[in-house]
């Protein structure tokens, strides 16, 4: 039997989603008597992964052909299968089954619409819009409808495989992702929302997905000692074979803190490898990240199918509507003042509304008369972000907080910033890193801080510099 005939048998016996390019490569080279080492070298995959995929593929072929298939017996099995087909063609058995109009090769249970699986939320479960602790409720979700429509179009219309939703703490990334799930859930077989808030290792994510998807042979996978590369490649294979929406929330938690460049934490490189393979290999699925910081290298991968979205804060008009939803009536003028000071950050606005309701009987102007400032919870939100900065970034933030106007990048003098910055390269790296962390504004080559961040850093300059 020739290789071309064997491949035709496989095309007939297997469904399209049961075989991919690597399967074909393994089969063709195994047919030619090549070793797994040679196959791995030719396909540029990890040896353990190629061997693992090959083992699973022989199992799939064994079930499809109703006889045991191994790498060593391919020629024997396919010659026997061809002989059986010829025998059945020459000696057909009478059809004693009732005529029920079944499509050849289909299971009657499978001929209807596919069973709709519920959305799978992994612990910790994201906040519901109805939750009293959530700063965006149903009424205010309409204020983020424009980003929501854009992201839904990227997922449904443009079939993007990797989307990163970026923004400061409290800007509404998680709740937007949750609302987005409701918009696109009918288009996916499986939806998994996985929080990285506690920085789980990649093996935990891998096991969660194995448990979540019923038709993945997780028992066989667990019985093998899998390397991290094999786990990543297997997960990508799952993304290729299933229409899966995988949301990784709080992605910044797998990145290093107090270091420039948004590199991955030690032993967390598998997450970056996953992003690279999702970009390089076609999949049916979509990977959606929410993060305060842009992972290293992601900007270089921007393409038609790989995109990022910087979630903006509320405009003055949206801020006015949001306060009204929270029971705090205000004028557009007051809303504009607050929106510009806090960058339209929904969480900061919610904290202000709670304070105004408690201390000023809902009168926002009386609170403003006391002077805008960073209330305790807002300070905590800021500190969480600043604690992740490298010393050079903290020093640059402190310097920017003392500038009365936005500063042109070319006008920033190294000597005036501080002793942590030794060269213009250090300065560019620090500015780029702060921008990737959504902590500075850059417009027409001019750099500035949002007023609430500027005031906090200015008041804390001595403390920040002493930490360096």
DSSP string, 360-411: STT-HHHHHHT-----HHHHHHHHHHHTTS-HHHHHHHHHHHT-SS-EEGGG
Q: What is the structure's pLDDT at 1?
A: 78
Q: What is the structure's pLDDT at 193?
A: 93
Q: What is the structure's pLDDT at 247?
A: 95
Q: What is the structure's pLDDT at 131?
A: 45
Q: What is the structure's pLDDT at 349?
A: 93
State mean pLDDT over 36-43.
87
Confidence band, pLDDT 50/70/90 cuts, at residue 459: confident
Q: What is the structure's pLDDT at 302?
A: 82
Q: What is the structure's pLDDT at 143?
A: 58
pLDDT 10s digits, 385-440: 999 999 889 888 989 998 889 999 888 876 567 666 777 888 888 888 888 888 89
Q: What is the structure's pLDDT at 277?
A: 92
Residue 439 placed within a domain: yes
The reply to whether 209 and 289 lie within a common domain is yes
Residues 6+ apart with CB under 8 A from 445: 408, 409, 410
| pLDDT tops 50 at residue 338 | yes
State mean pLDDT over 348-357.
92
Residue 382 placed within a domain: no
**pLDDT > 90: percent of the chain:** 34
Long-range CB contacts (< 8 A, 24+ apart) of 198-202? Answer: 198/253, 199/253, 199/254, 199/265, 199/268, 201/267, 201/268, 202/228, 202/231, 202/232, 202/268, 202/270, 202/271, 202/274
Query: CATH number for the domain including 218?
Result: 3.40.50.300
Phi and psi dihedrals of 195, rounded to 5? -85, 130
The reply to whether 350 and 407 lie within a common domain is no
Residue 103 placed within a domain: no
Residue 33 placed within a domain: yes
Residues 6+ apart with CB under 8 A from 180: 148, 151, 152, 155, 288
Q: What is the structure's pLDDT at 84?
A: 73
Helix, strand, or coil here: 110? helix
Q: What is the structure's pLDDT at 462?
A: 53
Cα gap 311→121, rounded to integer Å: 23
| pLDDT tops 70 at residue 220 | no
The reply to whether 214 and 282 lie within a common domain is yes
According to the per-residue pLDDT averaged within each range, which of 2-11, 209-218, 256-265, 356-365 is highest? 356-365
Q: What is the structure's pLDDT at 328?
A: 92
The reply to whether 151 and 297 lie within a common domain is yes
- pLDDT-wise least confident of 53-62, 220-229, 320-329: 220-229
Residue 98 placed within a domain: no
The reply to whether 305 and 344 lie within a common domain is no
Residue of higher predicted confidence among 150 and 119: 150
State mean pLDDT over 40-53.
82
| pLDDT tops 60 at residue 287 | yes
Residue 108 placed within a domain: no
The reply to whether 206 and 300 lie within a common domain is yes
The reply to whether 179 and 87 lie within a common domain is no
| pLDDT tops 70 at residue 114 | no
Domain range spanning residue 340? Answer: 316-374
Q: What is the structure's pLDDT at 133?
A: 45
Confidence band, pLDDT 50/70/90 cuts, at residue 244: very high
Q: Give me the chain's average pLDDT, please.
A: 81
The tokens of 423 are what?
């060269």
Write down the residue that tokens 């061997």 correspond to.
51
| pLDDT tops 50 at residue 248 | yes
Give me the number of domains the chain comprises: 4
Q: What is the maximum alpha-carbon separation in the chain?
A: 96
Angstrom CA distances, 419 to 426, 427, 457, 459, stand at 11, 11, 18, 20
| pLDDT tops 70 at residue 106 | no
Residue of higher predicted confidence among 104 and 243: 243
Residue 334 placed within a domain: yes
The reply to whether 263 and 152 lie within a common domain is yes
């Amino acid at each position: 039997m020739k290789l071309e005939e064997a491949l035709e048998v496989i095309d007939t016996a297997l469904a399209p989603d049961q075989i991919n390019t690597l399967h074909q490569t393994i089969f063709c080279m195994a047919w030619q008597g090549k070793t797994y080492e040679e196959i791995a070298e030719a396909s540029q995959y990890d040896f353990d992964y190629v061997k693992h995929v090959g083992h699973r593929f022989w199992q799939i072929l064994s079930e499809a052909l109703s006889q045991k298939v191994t790498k060593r017996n391919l020629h024997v099995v396919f010659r026997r299968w061809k002989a059986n087909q010829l025998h059945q063609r020459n000696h057909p058995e009478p059809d004693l089954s009732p005529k029920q109009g079944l499509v050849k090769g289909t299971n009657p249970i499978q001929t209807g619409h596919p069973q709709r699986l519920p959305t799978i939320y992994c612990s910790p479960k994201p906040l519901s819009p109805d939750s009293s602790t959530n700063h965006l409720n149903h009424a205010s979700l309409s204020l983020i409808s424009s980003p929501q429509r854009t992201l839904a179009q990227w997922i449904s219309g443009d079939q993007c495989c990797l989307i990163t939703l970026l923004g400061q703490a409290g800007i509404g990334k998680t709740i937007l992702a949750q609302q987005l799930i409701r918009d696109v859930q009918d288009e996916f077989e499986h939806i998994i929302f996985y929080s990285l808030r506690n920085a789980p290792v990649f093996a935990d994510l891998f096991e969660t997905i194995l448990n979540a998807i019923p038709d993945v042979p997780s028992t066989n996978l667990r019985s093998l000692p899998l390397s991290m590369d094999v786990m990543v490649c297997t997960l990508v294979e799952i993304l290729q074979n299933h229409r899966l929406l995988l949301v990784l929330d709080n992605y910044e938690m797998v990145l290093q803190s107090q270091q420039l460049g948004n590199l991955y934490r030690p032993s967390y490189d598998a997450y970056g490898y996953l992003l690279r393979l999702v970009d390089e290999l076609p999949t049916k699925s979509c990977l959606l990240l929410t993060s305060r910081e842009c992972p290293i290298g992601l900007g270089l991968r921007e393409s038609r199918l790989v995109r990022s979205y910087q979630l903006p804060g509320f405009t003055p008009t949206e801020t006015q509507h949001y306060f009204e939803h929270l029971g705090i009536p205000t004028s557009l003028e007051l809303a504009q003042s607050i929106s510009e000071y806090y960058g339209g950050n929904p969480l900061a606005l919610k904290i202000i509304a709670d304070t105004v309701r408690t201390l000023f009987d809902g009168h926002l102007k009386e609170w403003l008369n006391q002077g805008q400032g960073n209330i305790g919870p807002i300070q905590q939100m800021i500190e969480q972000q600043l604690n992740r900065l490298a010393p050079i970034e903290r020093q640059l933030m402190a310097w920017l907080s003392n500038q009365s106007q936005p500063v042109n990048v070319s006008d920033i003098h190294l000597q005036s910033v501080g002793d942590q910055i030794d060269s213009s390269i250090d300065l560019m790296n620090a500015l780029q890193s702060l921008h990737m962390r959504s902590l500075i504004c850059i417009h027409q080559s001019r750099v500035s801080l949002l007023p609430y961040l500027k005031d906090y850093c200015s008041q804390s300059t001595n403390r920040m510099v002493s930490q360096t």
